[in-house]
Structure 1
Amino acid sequence: MEETLALRHGMIYDVGDDGRVAVTFLSNPDLDGQPVSVELVLVDGDDAERGVTLHVGDRFEYGGESWRLSGIDEVGTYDYTVHLVKEEASLGGSSTVDR
């Protein structure tokens, strides 16, 4: 079974060996007319932060693990959920974020 993370508004989640991830922004396509995007902050064990902006289907590498934004529930509401899926293979040089 694949490993998933369901990120909720205002919560911080563990990812990788010593990393953390949180949603910092979710766009609203009904207001801006653009495809939905999510901004994540990734924090490593030394509290160094990196930001990444993703659309559904985008992949990123962080803490030696590859993740994909698989979907977003309840877009346009305060109760949204952002779904990340851990990928089996490393992205190599094509990663969005690499720490």
Structure 2
Amino acid sequence: MKEVILSADGDSMVYLVPEVVANDLGNYCTYFCDKWMKTSPHAKKYKIKNVYCYNEADFIDYLNEYVFPEKKSVFVKNLGWTDFGRNLPVEYKDHPYFNF
């Protein structure tokens, strides 16, 4: 398990996720947004008036329920507003980051 930072145009949240996700975070997040949302019947709950609405917690739910149910990702810490990762605390500067 490895820490990553996720946000959805708001506070930056630190999560502990499977290492394979952390090492390829951009691809996992992009697949969730671009492929899974548009093709999975499970994504219908995120569609409101033909627009998909989701955040970083929804991505974590997706990982836990559909991708790595045996390696649950967990919330670690809210870093507050970091200006889309530009103002991360020093100890988090090298963490993988994705904004939804």
Structure ranking higher in helix proportion: 2
Structure ranking higher in strand proportion: 1
Report the TM-score when normalising by structure 2: 0.27
Report the TM-score when normalising by structure 1: 0.27
Higher RCO, 1 vs 2 (CA within 8 Å, ≥6 residues apart): 2
